[in-house]
Chains A and B, each alone.
Chain A
């Protein structure tokens, strides 16, 4: 948050579409596969999950981990 006050402003903003952690975690595999194929399509199909991931560090971290695992599998399949 060193870019104060912009970072604080961004941190405090809430999106009414935000799906929350429970829904995001439930759909993480579906959202991750869609993101791996087409990030814009994932955001369009699940705007509530996208809004949540923009604000929730732990869920975003989990998504990044799942994407990394998917990419490793894709690399193995391609090799």
Chain B
């Protein structure tokens, strides 16, 4: 039996683009003043989305003011180049503006990943497990409840994971490096790091279950 992928399913849902989306594609694929006007309108819309997205995430960031706005402009500039280059690939599975906003949202994430390393005293490869309880918000007064499991987790990380998995797990969980920042540092992709962590999580859980620290997941029926 052939299993349909999510992307193939999305393709089945593709329809002729709505009039507004078709007009965006036509204008951006044309030449002359019409294209410049469309690019300017798209730039304004993307910049609004980038600013709103950075404002939405600002509570988690150590950036503000002009630096934050500069990131919004950078994300917009890179997104618009990609969108114009790929406008012909737009398949009408969503509105054109939603499709375009995806580019700028992903650019915002990538820019924040890069910006992370510009901060002073950024941890990486410190593997300071003593900081883990504090970082995870574990209550010192209830240490007896989490100490054994924390030690078992550390043992499992050291014994069950490959060197690469251990490095990724330690950076993300112990050192608290954001995933998109790790992408930049290791020169890889979000998907590659997630897959490494996916495999690591599965191994760690199996180890903690085998040693009686976590319960097995009941089979789905």
For B208, the chain A residues whose CB sits under 8 A away are 12
B88-134 interface with A by 8 A CB criterion: 93-95, 97-99, 101-102, 105-106, 108-109
With A13-B217, A18-B198, A58-B190 in contact, is A65–B105 under 8 Å at CB? yes
Given A9-B214, A56-B194, A66-B105: A33 and B98 interface contact (C-beta under 8 Å): yes
| Tally of chain B residues near chain A (CB < 8 A) | 50
Q: Are B98 and A65 in contact (CB under 8 A)?
A: no
Knowing A2-B136, A9-B214, A30-B10 are in contact, say whether A68-B53 is a contact too (CB < 8 A): yes
What are the residues of chain A within 8 A of B210 when measuring CB–CB? Answer: none
- Number of interface residues, chain A, beta carbon within 8 A: 44
Among candidates A8, A55, A58, A64, residue contacting B153 with C-beta atoms closer than 8 Å: A8
Q: Using a CB-CB cutoff of 8 Å, which residues 46-67 of chain A contact chain B?
A: 46, 48-49, 55-59, 61-62, 64-66
- State in angstroms the CA–CA spacing of A49 and B7 once bound together: 10
On whether A68 and B56 interact (CB within 8 A), knowing A14-B201, A29-B94, A33-B98, the answer reads: yes
B186 to chain A, nearest CB (A): 14
Interface: A38 (CB within 8 A): no
Q: Closest chain B residue to A21 by CB distance?
A: B191
A2 in contact with B139 given A20-B195, A30-B94, A61-B109 (CB within 8 Å) = yes
For window 109-168 of chain B, which residues contact chain A by CB distance below 8 Å?
109, 136-139, 145-146, 149, 153
Q: A38 to chain B: closest CB distance in Å? A: 14
- Report B's interface with A, CB cutoff 8 A: 5-7, 9-10, 13, 48-49, 52-53, 56-57, 93-95, 97-99, 101-102, 105-106, 108-109, 136-139, 145-146, 149, 153, 178-180, 189-191, 194-195, 198, 201-202, 204-205, 208, 213-215, 217
Q: Can you list 26 contacts pairing A with B, beta carbon distance less than 8 Å?
A: A1-B136, A1-B137, A4-B138, A7-B136, A8-B149, A9-B215, A12-B204, A12-B208, A13-B201, A20-B195, A21-B190, A21-B191, A22-B189, A26-B7, A28-B102, A29-B102, A30-B13, A32-B94, A32-B98, A55-B198, A57-B179, A59-B190, A66-B98, A68-B52, A69-B53, A69-B98
